[in-house]
């Protein structure tokens, strides 16, 4: 079995190491020298017709059994495959268990037997524990072509059982994302390796000892696992947004009794002020090159859109209106900004060049908020009251055409859409919980709950 790469993965509950971030953001395309499989896929999910059936075998543990690792391995890889929309993990039948043992005994894969069992793809794994480190080797095989799709080895470092499971999960996420990239027509990797930032609100004592609804920033894995706090301001922290490299979060905090903008560095755990002008400093969005941000400032009176360098210098005003302009977001190529304005009465979605200038209305039906541009640059998602039924998540073309309500059956209270980096999934808030779904509104999954994290959750931001 070929070993195509060795990727060091490491993660900490709050401060993410540089190694882990590199692995998380560095899913690469498969090269022809690593696999000769052509990656034929029967299209499924959003615009597809059927997914590849995957046989997931039990992970091999040469140095003894580890029931918890076996269970977490199986749950994680099956969830990742299923969530991708490209793969359909098959139940691990007794016939499959028996066939896997025959493959192990003969040290080769009987593709014909697996085809008879209904598998299009086989995924196998091995884990070798070496004290406080270990190697996990993951393989994927195309049954019809009788070829290797992927063969990867990940070297893991851990200091206990919980850390080991986290590292195994990260390896699996990266492996499955590489499989997705092999089959995605646009070459986008999957999103299993990503994090979601969000706001959690609970009644607590604030920094002055007074009881109030405290809002803090949290992050979690894309499937809702490993929830951990980022801020501890004991005040109002709002509107997190990821830097393009996934190493920083910008957010608004009232920690100094004024809505100011701060940047949290996930590699170091350090926080710095981005903007603290008199009045409102809020609703920041990173330019795709990471060198600047679009933000909302009210230092000149009413809230306006500004561009500011990533170090907080050189704020440049981009809008000039007597009304409220806020919530700017860049298009993936950085050429334009979508934002919210009430210059036509109710809040509407506007578009302007990234350098400023005369904006044009994109969505004017109902009250609208939270614009988010797809990473593929072809759609916008937003919150809207159009059509009645409360606030829902809508998706439209960049010019506002072909608008569709994705959550009309949920009875409203749906807000804050954010795209996954694969452009095929969305996260949003529904009645105080975080929900992920396919970009057509199907396959909704609630990834937070009050028993896992008390309080109300909002403003999810899907990381790169």
Distance CA 60, CA 47 (A): 36
SS3 235: coil
> Do 343 and 263 have their domain in common?
yes
The per-residue pLDDT for 63 is 66
Q: pLDDT higher for 287 or 40?
A: 287
Strand locations in 189-341 (E) = 195-205, 211-221, 228-229, 237-242, 248-253, 260-265, 271-275, 281-286, 292-297, 304-309, 316-317, 325-330, 336-341
**Domain count within the chain:** 2
Q: Residue 34 has which token pair?
A: 């690593």
Phi and psi dihedrals of 139, rounded to 5?
-135, 145
> Do 147 and 209 have their domain in common?
no
The per-residue pLDDT for 205 is 82
Position 314 in a domain: yes
> Do 209 and 169 have their domain in common?
no
> Do 160 and 248 have their domain in common?
no
pLDDT category, 41, cuts 50, 70, 90? very low
Would you list the DSSP string of 42-103? ---STT-S--EEEEEPPPB-TT---HHHHHHHHHHHHHHHHHTSSEEEPP--HHHHHHHHHH
Q: Within 10 Å of residue 41's Cβ, how many Cβ atoms?
A: 18
Q: Please answer whether residues 86 and 183 qualify as being in contact, where contact means their C-beta atoms are separated by less than 8 angstroms.
A: yes
Which whole number is the average pLDDT over 271-297?
Answer: 98
Q: How many CA atoms lie within 13 A of 2 on its CB side?
A: 14
Q: Residue 308 has which token pair?
A: 């500011």
Indicate the residue among 131, 149, 183 that finishes a domain.
Answer: 183
Which whole number is the average pLDDT over 313-335?
Answer: 97
* pLDDT over 70 percentage in the chain: 89
The per-residue pLDDT for 65 is 74
Q: pLDDT for 393-434, tens place per residue? A: 999 999 999 999 999 999 999 999 999 999 999 999 999 999
Indicate the residue among 157, 183, 209 that finishes a domain.
Answer: 183
Q: Which residue range forms the structural domain that includes residue 23? A: 6-183
pLDDT category, 3, cuts 50, 70, 90? very low
pLDDT category, 130, cuts 50, 70, 90? confident
> Do 88 and 19 have their domain in common?
yes
- What sign results for the dihedral spanned by CA atoms 309, 369, 231, 170? negative
> Do 81 and 206 have their domain in common?
no
Which whole number is the average pLDDT over 34-62?
Answer: 62
CATH number at residue 142: 3.40.50.10070
The per-residue pLDDT for 340 is 98
> Do 177 and 260 have their domain in common?
no
Which of 2-11, 204-213, 242-251 has the least mean pLDDT? 2-11
> Do 91 and 200 have their domain in common?
no
Which of 32-46, 215-229, 369-383 has the least mean pLDDT? 32-46
Q: Residue 363 has which token pair?
A: 């969505």
pLDDT category, 12, cuts 50, 70, 90? very low
Between helix 161-183 and helix 67-83 the angle, nearest 10°, is: 30
Phi and psi dihedrals of 235, rounded to 5?
-155, -150
**Residue with token string 């749950």:** 75
Position 302 in a domain: yes
User: Can you give the pTM of this predicted structure?
Assistant: 0.89
The per-residue pLDDT for 210 is 84
> Do 150 and 69 have their domain in common?
yes
Q: pLDDT for 101-127, tens place per residue? A: 999 999 999 999 999 999 999 999 999
* Cα radius of gyration (the chain): 23
Position 190 in a domain: no
Q: Residue 238 has which token pair?
A: 């709002």
> Do 176 and 261 have their domain in common?
no
Q: Residue 279 has which token pair?
A: 């009045």
Distance CA 236, CA 260 (A): 11
Q: Within 10 Å of residue 268's Cβ, how many Cβ atoms?
A: 12
Distance CA 446, CA 430 (A): 9
Position 247 in a domain: yes
SS3 411: coil
Strand locations in 170-231 (E) = 195-205, 211-221, 228-229
Taking the CA atoms of residue 45, residue 399, residue 380 and residue 320 in that order, the dihedral angle to the nearest 10 degrees is 180
Distance CA 430, CA 435 (A): 7
Position 226 in a domain: yes
> Do 124 and 12 have their domain in common?
yes
Position 178 in a domain: yes
Indicate the residue among 160, 183, 206 that finishes a domain.
Answer: 183
Position 1 in a domain: no
The per-residue pLDDT for 30 is 27
Q: Which H or E run includes 389?
A: none
The per-residue pLDDT for 131 is 84
Position 153 in a domain: yes
Q: Residue 19 has which token pair?
A: 């190694």
Distance CA 331, CA 147 (A): 39
Which whole number is the average pLDDT over 20-27?
Answer: 32
Q: Tell me what the pLDDT averaged over the chain comes to.
A: 89
Q: Which of 66, 90, 65 is nearest to 77 (CA)?
A: 90
CATH number at residue 255: 2.120.10.30
> Do 177 and 202 have their domain in common?
no
pLDDT category, 358, cuts 50, 70, 90? very high
The per-residue pLDDT for 287 is 98
Q: pLDDT for 151-209, tens place per residue? A: 999 999 999 999 999 999 999 999 999 999 998 999 999 999 999 999 999 998 877 78
pLDDT category, 8, cuts 50, 70, 90? very low
Strand 52-56 to 121-129 pairing: parallel
Distance CA 312, CA 60 (A): 51
Q: Which of 244, 352, 238, 370 is nearest to 306 (CA)?
A: 352
């Amino acid at each position: 079995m070929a070993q195509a790469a060795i990727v060091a993965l490491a993660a900490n509950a709050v401060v993410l190491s540089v190694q882990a971030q590199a692995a998380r953001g560095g899913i690469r395309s498969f090269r022809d020298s690593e696999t000769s499989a052509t990656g034929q896929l029967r299209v499924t999910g959003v615009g597809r017709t059927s997914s590849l059936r995957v046989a997931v075998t039990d992970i091999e543990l040469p140095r003894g059994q580890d029931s918890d690792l076996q269970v977490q391995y199986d749950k994680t890889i099956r969830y990742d495959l299923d969530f991708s929309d490209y793969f359909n993990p098959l139940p691990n039948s007794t016939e499959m268990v028996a066939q896997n043992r025959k493959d192990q005994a003969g040290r080769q894969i009987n593709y014909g037997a697996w085809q008879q069992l209904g598998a299009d793809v086989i995924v196998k794994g091995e884990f070798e524990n070496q004290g406080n480190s270990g190697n996990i080797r993951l393989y994927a095989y195309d049954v019809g072509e009788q070829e290797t799709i992927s063969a990867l080895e990940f070297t893991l470092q851990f200091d206990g059982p919980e850390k080991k499971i986290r590292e195994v999960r990260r390896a699996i996420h990266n492996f499955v994302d590489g499989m997705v990239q092999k089959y995605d027509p646009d070459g986008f990797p999957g999103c299993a390796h990503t994090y979601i930032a969000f706001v959690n609100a609970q009644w607590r004592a604030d920094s002055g000892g007074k009881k109030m609804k405290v809002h803090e920033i949290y992050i979690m894995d894309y499937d809702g696992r490993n929830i951990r706090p980022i801020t501890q301001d004991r005040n109002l922290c709002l509107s997190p947004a990821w830097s393009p490299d996934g190493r920083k979060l910008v957010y608004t905090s009232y920690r100094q009794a004024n809505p100011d903008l701060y940047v949290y560095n996930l590699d170091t755990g350090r926080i710095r002020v981005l903007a603290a002008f008199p009045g409102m400093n809020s609703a920041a969005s990173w330019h795709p090159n990471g060198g600047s941000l679009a933000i909302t400032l009210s230092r000149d009176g009413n809230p306006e859109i500004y561009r500011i360098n990533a170090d907080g210098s050189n704020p440049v005003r981009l809008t000039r209106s007597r009304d409220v302009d806020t919530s700017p977001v860049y298009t993936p190529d950085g050429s334009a900004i979508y934002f919210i304005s009430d210059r036509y009465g109710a809040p509407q979605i506007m578009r302007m060049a990234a350098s400023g200038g005369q904006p044009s209305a994109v969505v004017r039906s109902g009250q609208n908020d939270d614009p988010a541009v797809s990473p593929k640059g072809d759609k916008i998602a937003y919150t809207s009251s159009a059509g009645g039924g409360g606030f829902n998540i809508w998706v439209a073309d960049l010019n506002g055409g072909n608008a569709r309500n994705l959550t009309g059956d949920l009875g409203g209270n749906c807000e804050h859409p954010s795209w996954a980096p694969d452009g095929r999934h969305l996260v949003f808030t529904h009645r105080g919980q975080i929900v992920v779904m396919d970009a057509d509104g199907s396959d909704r999954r609630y990834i937070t709950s009050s028993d896992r994290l008390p309080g109300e959750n909002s403003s999810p931001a899907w990381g790169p």
